[in-house]
Amino acid sequence: MSFTQFTLKNLLRRPVRTLLTIMGIGLGIGAVVALLGLAWGLEQSWAEGMRARKTDLVVRKSGGGLVAQPFDESAVGKVRGVAGVAAAAGLMGEVLSVEQVPLMVITGREWGTFIWDSLEVKAGRLPAGPDEKAVVLGLIAAETLGKKPGDKITIEVEEFEVVGIVDGKAVVENGGIVMALPLLQSLMQKPALVTFINIRLQPDVGDPKAVAQKIEQELPGLKVEIAEEVFANSDSVKTFQAMNWGTSAVALLVGTFGVMNTMLMSVFERTREIGILLAVGWRRSRILRMVLWESIALCAVAGVLGIVFGIGMLKVLSITPWIHGRLEPYVGWDLSGYAFAMAVLVGLASGLYPALRCTKINPSLAIRES
Amino acid sequence: MTMRFAILFAVLMPALNFAQTKTFTARELIAGVKAARPSGSLYARLRMEHGGTVLQVQVKRRALPEGGSESLYQVLFPAERKGEGLLLKARRNAFTGATFVPSKGVRTLKSGDRDTAVFGTAVDVEDLLASFLNWPDPEIVGQEKEGNIPCTIVELRAPKGSASTFSRARCWIDEKRYATMRVEFFGSRDKPLKTVTTHKVIRGSSGFYSPVNFTVTDHTNGSSTKVEGVRSDSDVTYSDADFSEAAFQSVTPAPGKGG
């Protein structure tokens, strides 16, 4: 029997205990996968939306919250005059309850700008102009609302015609309603206001941050960020991520103590056996490695199960009304690898103390007392 | 010696903690809840879900110079019900009002119509008036957690001659935020006739906390209505025209904010 086989056989001596420990740590790993999958999915959805719109920089009001504050749309003209800026477009974003749907993102986009270009018409057409009382729906929004081109849709006090269904190439785009900026400004009683300016830079701009700084100097009170980083930089997202990390840390800590308890019990039960192994010539370092390998193997199996469980939870969450159409939970090899590595680390951490206890066993006392 | 000191400290700590916590009286709690209610002009959008039907509703409200408030509730969705309205003018425990249905016209509400359902939901005029907060002699009857939130339970009894449909109300009040996390309304028996359960409270621009998501359950017929706040704007500027008969019978957007 090899060292590895010997180690693994020890785990199967008490199969129920081993299974329960695996389930415990597996649940913790599953929770980590689900939480991180949601958080990374949220960031990725935003970044995809920015890439789809071919937006390099985003201007918004300083404050850092996820809910953007409106500012004067005259800032758009000023941004266009800054060196390095190829194009700028004003947007207003609102989250409203529309017909039977509890929450839906509605964007008002400046007519004739590049942020309409990313919308691929799948049915119907785009609005004919900024004054047409018409909207287009993202693919997922159309499905959620049950609308097709030609239907009417009530948004706040007004009724609009759905003229088209579009593919915005990103979940965050496809889950929303798009209309011309003046329509949304009028609807929300926020004339001449925008909540974002999307900027496309000249191709030869080497340092986007330098252009961002120039814009901030031109427009005090406004913040300019790299488009894909806007979401991750917001205070609300940072708080959400901190909560995720905190919850994950607690789950893993609980799992660590659970595994440590199991390993300690296992070691105590095998005191005589370990004494015999030491008596027949096993080095203490080998005993230490044996216990550590047992702990790591236990947690590795738990990690795999936890990853499967976590991915399952993400799939279920992705079809719930709170998530569907708003973000695509992230399920990637790097997330699985990260979760597996955490499981192995838990195995190492939880097996260390029992392993060290083993090395202090006196062989003759262990054999005599047992 | 150290052990004895540690035990003494552990015993005394809760007592010291208790001594530092302010204890509110029932009147103070009710006064806090009333102060936290929006008092100026307001525009709000609500989503009401009742028996599988979703209503999108707008609310316009203004404070009246002589005291009290005037409120206009109007259905925006579904399209076949757009324009249904409820107009209420309330001052302390008295009110005047009317309902409007496009196909049926205007119906004036009488003082005994407090149990008139708002747009056919479990919410009625009595709930909108919240007159129970003006009932005299509130009394603390217990402490209990509502969800995870420690609350003080305050009981209020309707005064003699009250026009209210209820005789007694119990409020679970979160002392930290002066928010009513649950309110139960009783008739002559001990079983509640209606319960309002708050699911979410947010802090407004005024600094006060307001329930924005709550469920109203009518135990007499087993129906319940979920009310979700979509958005609100305070300090909007209304004119008399916004609460006129013409405005009541047509749906107009929110006015601009005060200058």
Rg (Cα) of chain A, in Å, rounded?
29
In Å, how far is A251's CA from the nearest CA of chain B?
21
Task: Please compute the mean of the pLDDT values over residues B8-25 and round it to a whole number.
Answer: 59
Judged by CB atoms within 8 Å, which residues 233-252 of B form the interface with A?
Answer: 233, 251-252
Contact predicate B58/B254, CB 8 Å: yes
Minimal Cβ distance to A100: which of B54, B82, B228: B54
- With cut-offs at 50, 70 and 90, classify the pLDDT of residue B151: very high
What gap in Å lies between CA A363 and CA A278, rounded to an integer? 6
Nearest partner of B59 among B130, B119, B11, judged by Cα: B119
| Contact status of A317 with chain B (Cβ, < 8 Å) | no
Q: Pairing relation of β-strands B94-101 and B105-109? A: antiparallel
Judged against a pLDDT cut of 70, whether residue A302 lies above it is answered with yes
A326 or A239: whose pLDDT is higher?
A239
Q: Look at residue B205 in the predicted model and tell me its pLDDT.
A: 72
Collapse the DSSP code of B141 into the 3-class scheme (helix H, G, I; strand E, B; otherwise coil) and give the result.
strand
Judged by CB atoms within 8 Å, which residues 45-64 of B form the interface with A?
Answer: 45, 47, 54, 56, 58
In Å, how far is B70's CA from the nearest CA of chain A?
20
A90 or A365: whose pLDDT is higher?
A90
Contact predicate A96/A187, CB 8 Å: no
In Å, how far is A345's CA from the nearest CA of chain B?
34
Judged by CB atoms within 8 Å, which residues 125-184 of A form the interface with B?
Answer: 152, 154, 156-159
Q: Is B78 in contact with A187 (Cβ distance < 8 A)?
A: no
Minimal Cβ distance to A96: which of B78, B230, B233: B230
Q: Kind and range of the H or E element at B223? A: strand B223-234
Q: Is A189 in contact with B58 (Cβ distance < 8 A)?
A: no
Judged against a pLDDT cut of 80, whether residue A3 lies above it is answered with no
H-assigned helices in chain B = 2-20, 26-36, 125-129, 245-248
Q: What is the pLDDT of residues A13-31, one digit of tens each?
A: 888 888 988 888 898 889 8
Task: Please compute the mean of the pLDDT values over residues A39-51 and round it to a whole number.
Answer: 78
Q: Look at residue A234 in the predicted model and tell me its pLDDT.
A: 66
What gap in Å lies between CA B23 and CA B175, rounded to an integer? 9
Q: Look at residue A252 in the predicted model and tell me its pLDDT.
A: 81
Q: Look at residue A254 in the predicted model and tell me its pLDDT.
A: 84
Judged by CB atoms within 8 Å, which residues 87-116 of A form the interface with B?
Answer: 96-100, 102
Task: Please compute the mean of the pLDDT values over residues A271-287 and round it to a whole number.
Answer: 86
Q: Look at residue B12 in the predicted model and tell me its pLDDT.
A: 55
Residues of B in contact with A157 (CB under 8 A): 58, 76, 251-253
What gap in Å lies between CA B179 and CA B151, rounded to an integer? 9
Q: What are phi and psi of B36, to 5 degrees?
A: -75, -15
Residue of B nearest to A189 (CA): B256
- The tokens for A190 are 């926020």
CA A86 to chain centre: 31
For chain B, how many helices (H) and strands (E)?
A: 4, 13
Task: Please compute the mean of the pLDDT values over residues A302-307 and round it to a whole number.
Answer: 93
Least confident of A32-46, A279-293, B101-115: A32-46
CA distances from B254 to A152, B61, B151, B247 (A): 21, 11, 36, 12
Mean of pLDDT over chain A: 88
Mean of pLDDT over chain B: 87
Q: Look at residue A65 in the predicted model and tell me its pLDDT.
A: 56
Q: If you search the block for the tokens 């920015």, which residue do you land on?
A: A50
Task: Please compute the mean of the pLDDT values over residues B43-68 and round it to a whole number.
Answer: 93
Task: Please compute the mean of the pLDDT values over residues B213-219 and round it to a whole number.
Answer: 96
Compute, in degrees rounded to 10, the torsion defined by CA atoms A69, A73, A78, A81: 110
Q: Look at residue A89 in the predicted model and tell me its pLDDT.
A: 96
What gap in Å lies between CA B81 and CA B185, rounded to an integer? 30
Q: What are phi and psi of A247, to 5 degrees?
A: -65, -45
Judged against a pLDDT cut of 90, whether residue A32 lies above it is answered with no
Contact predicate A308/A280, CB 8 Å: no
Nearest partner of B45 among A97, A187, A103, A195, judged by Cα: A97
Residues of A in contact with B257 (CB under 8 A): 189
- With cut-offs at 50, 70 and 90, classify the pLDDT of residue B45: very high
Q: What are phi and psi of B109, to 5 degrees?
A: -90, 140
B178: left (phi over 0), alpha (psi -120 to 50) or beta: left
Confidence (pTM): 0.76
For chain A, how many helices (H) and strands (E)?
A: 13, 12
Judged against a pLDDT cut of 50, whether residue B18 lies above it is answered with no
Rg (Cα) of chain B, in Å, rounded?
21
What is the share, in percent, of chain B residues with pLDDT greater than 70? 90
What gap in Å lies between CA A112 and CA A358, rounded to an integer? 74
Q: Look at residue A326 in the predicted model and tell me its pLDDT.
A: 64
Contact predicate A136/A149, CB 8 Å: no
Q: Look at residue B11 in the predicted model and tell me its pLDDT.
A: 56
Q: Look at residue B259 in the predicted model and tell me its pLDDT.
A: 35
| Contact status of A69 with chain B (Cβ, < 8 Å) | no
Q: Look at residue B21 in the predicted model and tell me its pLDDT.
A: 60
B242 or B204: whose pLDDT is higher?
B242
Q: What is the pLDDT of residues A181-212, one digit of tens each?
A: 999 999 998 999 999 999 999 999 989 999 99
Task: Give residues with Cβ within 8 angstroms of B214, minimum separation 6.
Answer: B196, B197, B198, B199, B200, B226, B227
Q: What is the pLDDT of residues A138-150, one digit of tens each?
A: 999 999 999 999 9
B156 or B234: whose pLDDT is higher?
B156
Residue of A nearest to B77 (CA): A99
Q: What are phi and psi of B126, to 5 degrees?
A: -55, -40
Say what the ipTM of the complex is: 0.83
Least confident of A94-103, A242-251, B108-117, B235-244: A242-251
Q: Which of A273-287, A356-370, B71-85 has the highest mean pLDDT?
A: B71-85
Q: Look at residue B155 in the predicted model and tell me its pLDDT.
A: 96
Contact predicate B103/B249, CB 8 Å: no
- The tokens for A239 are 């708080």
Specify which residues B140 forms β-bridges with.
B154
In Å, how far is B82's CA from the nearest CA of chain A?
9
Total residues found in chain B within this entry: 259
Q: Which of A48-52, A230-234, B155-159 has the highest mean pLDDT?
A: B155-159
Minimal Cβ distance to A189: which of B56, B78, B254: B254
Q: What are phi and psi of B179, to 5 degrees?
A: -110, 135
What does DSSP assign to residue B236? B
Judged against a pLDDT cut of 70, whether residue A90 lies above it is answered with yes
Contact predicate A211/A66, CB 8 Å: no
- With cut-offs at 50, 70 and 90, classify the pLDDT of residue B153: very high
Q: Look at residue B166 in the predicted model and tell me its pLDDT.
A: 92
Q: Kind and range of the H or E element at B198? A: strand B192-203
Q: Look at residue B104 in the predicted model and tell me its pLDDT.
A: 93
Q: What are phi and psi of A246, to 5 degrees?
A: -60, -45
Task: Please compute the mean of the pLDDT values over residues A42-50 and round it to a whole number.
Answer: 77
Angle ∠(A236,A241,A243) on CA atoms, nearest 5: 95
